[in-house]
Structure 1
């Protein structure tokens, strides 16, 4: 059984999972599917063609599944899919996709989206991602697993942020960030590796040493940035270094933040 406050509005067609709690003055639209154990605290709007995974908790005044903030959007049917066990804090906004961007915005599992942050249309957000207060992720961005984006950051549209990277507070990120990278500064610069994050995740010392050496080669080696990455791929046995190589040599709509 679900608990639905008498002041909440549940439109016909909405699907409410077993054990969900919908608090005072919430609105759940007709195209919404809530998984088992979802908790909408109060004054939460969930609308559009939106699916929210089990045990996700959404705090007051969040607006989830509204139409994209994109002038090209003409009302086409698009979606927002949010995974399980996310914590979505006050005033967070997450928009559905656009036809030109594939039609879907995806958010993974076990994320923390702090107060006031924004996830725009057609983004793909991985698992265990943390977006800190009042940061904005623009349209079409891809943020891989275990990324942390600090407070008051802006991430430019189409940017990719690789797994395990960390973005310092007050940074503007305009280009792709390699996996496990550390970005700092008002106009974000690649300033090293997220060594603390690697250690917390229990990465072997040998892999951390290999990543340090790889970063030095990317920073100081001969040739263009992508050429250095390809040489790394030929020389390394570390899966972590190969992950960086594949990220750099893969397809992208942006250039890369390179070591300063």
Structure 2
């Protein structure tokens, strides 16, 4: 005889109970994979033993919460926040800054996966769009990597040793105009969004984003220089990098 299916009810909508989906929900709240699958299996086993074949979603989540609080109390708070986020109609925008090679792209992809956000934009892509719209003669700093910027590329007089820093900040300011346009459209249209990249610099991104209830901003820092260096070689092996790792290493201090 076929085993009966457990049906989860929420607001008149019915869906089959899925251990995989429930485990994924727990993982999104930060619980470990093994714990997530264990709790999902235990909840299903309890419902089957009680012959509860039609259950409200709130009851399932309450059972999950009771089990989770005994195993990982911190994850309980994250689960509650995740539920609030899931039920909210407000958009969520996450801005992740950090130097090249520290892992902003990896973190952005992981955040998007956990929060089920479909749109992930890199600031390098925004800079590329601006490059096609603005000629090198008009804005040369936009067409170079920040560590390649020279004194003559600047519109204001700076010392040669300050050219990279001033050039980078000038480039970041231009790119952040594009970032602002994308973020404002996302907020207006209710689109969840993750933006990551080296150009998201405190003091350059609009200050109103820091206290905005829909926007989360963070900067990734890798304190170990040796680990940071090794990231460029790992990236070179795992992706078709446009530049060899040695070029980044040669300008490592400017990147840091």
TM range (shorter): under 0.3
Q: Which has the larger radius of gyration?
A: 2
TM-score for the superposition, normalised by structure 2: 0.27
User: Which protein has the bigger helix share?
Assistant: 2
TM-score for the superposition, normalised by structure 1: 0.26
More relative contact order, 1 or 2 (CA 8 Å, 6+ apart): 2
User: Which protein has the bigger strand share?
Assistant: 1
